[in-house]
């Protein structure tokens, strides 16, 4: 122990004598608060961005759905025209093509409606009104295009049946002309003329049998078309021609009396066949038209109901867009 150094003391101050840093704890707390505030700002910004992104995507979907409907407009009008076009012999191909278009337009309209329904909750009020009108238009169009192929399929079959029915009538008329010529030849009362009469009658028979076959095909193509009056007329005409050929055969065999005896029966049957012809429907297409109406009545009613909904919705879309332009 040195002299001058008090007993029991060190030359270093005790540790507890060093005062603590008074600002240490507050600095830690301040930095913690800053971090929390920065984190909160980051989270808020993230959610704000997500909201902005949803709204932007919704506007994009609205534009794309609208463009999809507009792009399909021309094809929709083609289908609509085909549905409303009267049935002719050339309708078949047009109907098949229009039915294929209808499937494409329906798919586009349905896709547009789904797109719009998926973003309704992310649109502003004015955009929401437009989107709802577009959905009504899209769904009505989809309904139209779903129904249209049913009508167009019947159109195609009816058009095909018309071709066979018209050909049948042409064969009947040709047979009638041949029969008229046969009568004229027979009335010349010469062997050559009677033989010519018999030949003409055979040709008429062939034409009538062809007509009967064509009507059977028309019925198979378009079940429900009632051609019975025409078929019955063909049968009656064939019976009359058969009687005429019997008369020809008797005359050529030299049995003039027997031939003349059958002439009275022939004349009576001829008058009956003429009356039967006069009672036929005005057109061979009438049975097809009647069956067509029966088979498409319900589909047409549903189609035009959907068409009216599409028209009303389309007018609403136009009205909303014009209002938006006027307010800009």
- Full-model pTM: 0.76
| Of residues 90 and 143, more confidently modeled | 143
Out of 1.20.120, 2.60.40, 3.40.109, 3.40.1350, the CATH code matching 42-156+297-327 is 1.20.120
What is the structure's pLDDT at 255?
Answer: 94
The whole-number average pLDDT for the span 122-142 is 90
Which residues lie below 8 Å from residue 152, measured CB to CB, with a gap of 6+?
79, 82, 83, 95, 96, 98, 99, 102
**Region class of 87: left (phi > 0), else alpha (psi between -120 and 50), else beta:** beta
- The pLDDT value given to residue 89: 62
pLDDT at 3: 38
List pLDDT tens digits, range 189-241.
999 999 999 999 999 999 999 999 999 999 999 999 999 999 999 999 999 99
Mind listing the pLDDT tens digit for each residue in 236-291?
Answer: 999 999 999 999 999 999 999 999 999 989 999 999 999 999 999 999 999 999 99
Query: Which of 125-134, 193-202, 232-241, 319-328 is least confident?
Result: 319-328
Question: Mean pLDDT across the chain, nearest whole number?
Answer: 85
The pLDDT, as a whole number, for residue 60 is 87
The 3 state secondary structure assigned to the chain is CCCCCCCCCCCCCCHHHCCCCCCHHHHHHHHHHHHHHHHHHHHHHHHHHHHHHHHHHHHHHHHHHHHHHHHCHHHHHHHHHHHHCCCCCCHHHHHHHHHHHHHHHHHHHHHHHHHHHCCHHHCCHHHHHHHHHHHHHHHHHHHHHHHHHHHHHHHHHHHHHHHHHHHHHHHHHHHHHHHHHHHHHHCCCCHHHHHHHHHHHHHHHHHHHHHHHHHHHHHHHCCCCCCHHHHHHHHHHHHHHHHHHHHHHHHHCCCHHHHHHHHHHHHHHHHHHHHHHHCCCCCCCHHHHHHHHHHHHHHHHHHHHHHHHHHHHHHHHHHHHHHHHHHC
Which of 12-21, 175-184, 263-272 bottoms out in mean pLDDT, i.e. has the lowest? Answer: 12-21
The C-alpha angle 125, 126, 131, rounded to 5 degrees, equals 95
Q: Using pLDDT thresholds of 50, 70 and 90, give the confidence band for residue 87.
A: confident
Domain ranges for the chain: 42-156+297-327, 158-291
Residue 21 confidence (pLDDT): 45
Q: What is the pLDDT of residue 123?
A: 82
Mean pLDDT of 108-136: 89
Question: pLDDT (tens digit, 9 = 90+) per residue, 19-77?
Answer: 444 444 444 455 455 444 444 545 455 445 455 567 677 788 888 989 999 999 999 99
Dihedral, CA atoms, 169, 262, 185, 187, nearest 10 degrees? Answer: -130
Token pair recorded at residue 284: 């061979």
């Amino acid at each position: 122990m040195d002299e001058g150094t008090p007993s029991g003391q060190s030359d270093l101050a005790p540790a507890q004598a060093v005062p603590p840093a008074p600002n240490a704890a507050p600095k830690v707390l301040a930095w913690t608060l800053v971090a929390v505030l920065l984190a909160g700002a980051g989270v808020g910004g993230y959610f704000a961005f997500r909201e902005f992104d949803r709204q932007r995507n919704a506007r994009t979907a609205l534009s794309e759905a609208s463009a999809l409907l507009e792009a399909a407009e021309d094809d929709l009008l083609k289908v609509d025209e085909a549905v409303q076009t009267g049935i002719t012999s050339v309708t078949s191909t047009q109907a098949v093509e229009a039915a294929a278009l209808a499937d494409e337009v329906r798919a586009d309209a349905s896709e547009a409606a789904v797109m719009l329904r998926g973003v309704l909750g992310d649109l502003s009020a004015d955009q929401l009104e437009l989107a709802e009108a577009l959905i009504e238009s899209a769904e009505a169009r989809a309904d139209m295009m779903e129904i249209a192929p049913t009508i167009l399929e019947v159109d195609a079959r009816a058009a095909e049946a018309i071709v066979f029915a018209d050909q049948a009538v042409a064969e009947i008329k040709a047979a009638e002309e041949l029969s008229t010529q046969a009568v004229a030849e027979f009335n010349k009362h010469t062997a050559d003329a009677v033989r010519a009469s018999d030949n003409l009658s055979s040709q008429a028979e062939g034409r009538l049998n062809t007509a009967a076959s064509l009507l059977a095909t028309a019925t198979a193509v378009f079940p429900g078309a009632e051609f019975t009056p025409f078929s019955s007329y063909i049968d009656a005409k064939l019976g009359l021609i058969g009687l005429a050929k019997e008369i020809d055969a008797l005359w050529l065999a030299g049995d003039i009396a027997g031939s003349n005896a059958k002439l009275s029966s022939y004349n009576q049957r001829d008058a009956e066949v003429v009356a039967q012809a006069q009672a036929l429907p005005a057109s061979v297409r009438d049975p097809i038209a009647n069956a067509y109406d029966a088979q498409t009545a319900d589909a047409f009613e549903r189609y035009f109901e959907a068409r009216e909904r599409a028209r009303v919705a389309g007018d609403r879309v136009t009205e909303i867009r014009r209002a938006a332009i006027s307010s800009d």
